[in-house]
């Protein structure tokens, strides 16, 4: 008998049903279970108390959307084998498995390796343990599989990752600007010349998606108070390492790197921070007490750079960038009934090229209140 797992997901107001034995085995793997202990939005819960959801729930949500998208494409006559369906589902399920504690907050700090590279290493390890069951998934994730549109469903400017995290993050933060027409967009997906495209009736839903992503960056992902909290956490880790270079030190070249990395999650960092509150070093103890008790630094945002500040664990400056659409990446394409296929920047009467390619840069200064 085939084992079936039913998972209740409040974001989509229903149940996620999983009966593929390989996918279920991957979900049960310790590398994947670790995602239960990593918050999707890092320290954002210090601003939006409901933002306690995890990478685990996001990855399952993305898996659910991938299943829907593949079904829609098959119904439209796109040839996708059962093995390719499984590969695409596994690729999106594992797309974020290489994130470190508190997701993007600690990236390149605990270890100077991008999370995408760690994701691939973890996928390869699981694949070895499962005798090659992830071969197709790894090819799709790495964009080496012949059907390019399958990779686009995993990683592109309109992928199942972005569709899920916008809906999920909006749901748990209560920021309604992130609500997008997920069902509508998925129902409008199609394939043209091995490219993932959107049927012309979906233009307005895609426009809303792009605008929502831009608004969510400034209201959630780059909220100034979240940035202030991040500085405290990163400052705490840097100071702890200055006092003891072995703190959370991982060597990417070591044979046990992946195993040691997989042991780290949010809990490890916060246990250390709570312990460092009682350090004899006044700088470290102050940073950690402030973080634990949410005594965050004051932070100012400006469209112009701030004057250079003397380097300190308590005062500093930085830069924030946000571009909701990237012309250097493969553009979102719209497919018309007459067979024409054009970029969203040409098809849209709301989002001209100037709006889409505009990169917003802001500067911040943080200091004690």
CATH number of the domain bearing residue 19: 1.10.3210.10
Q: Which DSSP letter does residue 106 get?
A: G
The position carrying tokens 């246990």 is: 271
Please name the residues in contact with 233: beta carbons below 8 A apart, sequence gap of 6 or more.
Answer: 43, 102, 105, 106, 269, 273, 291
Packing angle of the helix pair 160-173, 55-75 (nearest 10 deg): 130
3-state helix, strand, coil split of the chain in percent (to 5) is: 50, 15, 35
Q: pLDDT tens, 238-287? A: 999 999 999 988 888 899 999 999 999 999 999 999 999 999 999 999 99
pLDDT band for 2, please (50, 70, 90 cuts): low
- Taking phi over 0 as left and psi of -120 to 50 as alpha, with beta for the rest, 118 belongs to alpha
CA distance 95 to 123: 9
- Can you give the pTM of this predicted structure? 0.94
Please name the residues in contact with 133: beta carbons below 8 A apart, sequence gap of 6 or more.
Answer: 22, 25, 127
Residue 175: which domain range? Answer: 5-367
Q: pLDDT tens, 319-365? A: 998 887 887 778 899 999 999 999 998 888 878 777 787 788 999 99
Q: pLDDT tens, 25-68? A: 999 999 999 999 999 999 999 999 999 999 999 999 999 999 99
Beta bridge partners of 364: 301, 318
Q: Give pLDDT, residue 79.
A: 97
Burial level of 271, CB count in 10 A (0-12/13-18/19+)?
Answer: exposed
Q: Give pLDDT, residue 330.
A: 83
Our count of domains for the chain comes to 1
List the single range of 14-18, 109-113, 120-124 with lowest mean pLDDT.
Answer: 109-113
């Amino acid at each position: 008998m085939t084992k079936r797992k039913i998972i209740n997901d409040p974001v989509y107001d229903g149940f996620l049903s999983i009966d593929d034995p390989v996918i279920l085995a991957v979900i049960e793997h310790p590398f994947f279970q670790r995602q239960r202990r990593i918050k999707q939005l890092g320290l954002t819960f210090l601003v939006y108390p409901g933002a306690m959801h995890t990478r685990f729930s996001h990855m399952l949500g993305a898996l659910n959307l991938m299943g829907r998208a593949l079904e829609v494409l098959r119904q439209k006559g796109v040839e996708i084998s059962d093995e390719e369906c499984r590969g695409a589902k596994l690729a999106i399920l594992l797309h974020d498995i290489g994130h470190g504690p508190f997701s993007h907050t600690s990236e390149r700090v605990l270890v100077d390796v991008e999370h995408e590279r760690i994701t691939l290493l973890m996928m390869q390890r699981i694949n070895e343990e499962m005798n090659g069951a992830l071969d197709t998934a790894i090819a799709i994730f790495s964009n080496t599989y012949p059907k390019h549109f399958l990779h686009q469903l995993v990683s592109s400017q309109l992928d199942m990752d972005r569709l899920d995290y916008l809906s999920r993050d909006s749901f748990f933060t209560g920021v309604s600007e992130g609500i997008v027409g997920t069902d509508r967009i998925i129902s409008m997906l199609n394939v043209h010349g091995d490219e993932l495209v959107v049927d012309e009736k979906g233009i307005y839903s895609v426009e809303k998606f792009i605008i929502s992503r831009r608004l969510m960056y400034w209201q959630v992902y780059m909220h100034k108070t979240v940035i202030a909290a991040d500085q405290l956490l990163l400052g705490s880790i840097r100071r702890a390492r200055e006092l003891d270079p072995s703190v959370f030190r991982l060597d990417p070249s070591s044979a046990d790197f992946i195993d040691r990395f997989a042991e780290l999650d949010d809990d490890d960092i916060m246990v250390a921070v709570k312990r460092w509150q009682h350090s004899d070093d006044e700088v470290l103890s102050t940073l950690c007490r402030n973080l634990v008790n949410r005594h965050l630094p004051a932070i100012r945002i400006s469209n112009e750079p701030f004057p250079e500040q003397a380097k300190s664990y308590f005062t500093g400056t930085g830069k924030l960038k946000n571009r909701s659409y990237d012309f250097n990446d493969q553009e979102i394409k719209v497919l018309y009934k007459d067979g024409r296929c054009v970029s969203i920047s040409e098809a849209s009467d709301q989002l001209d090229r100037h709006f889409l390619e505009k990169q917003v840069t802001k500067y911040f200064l943080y200091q004690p209140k």
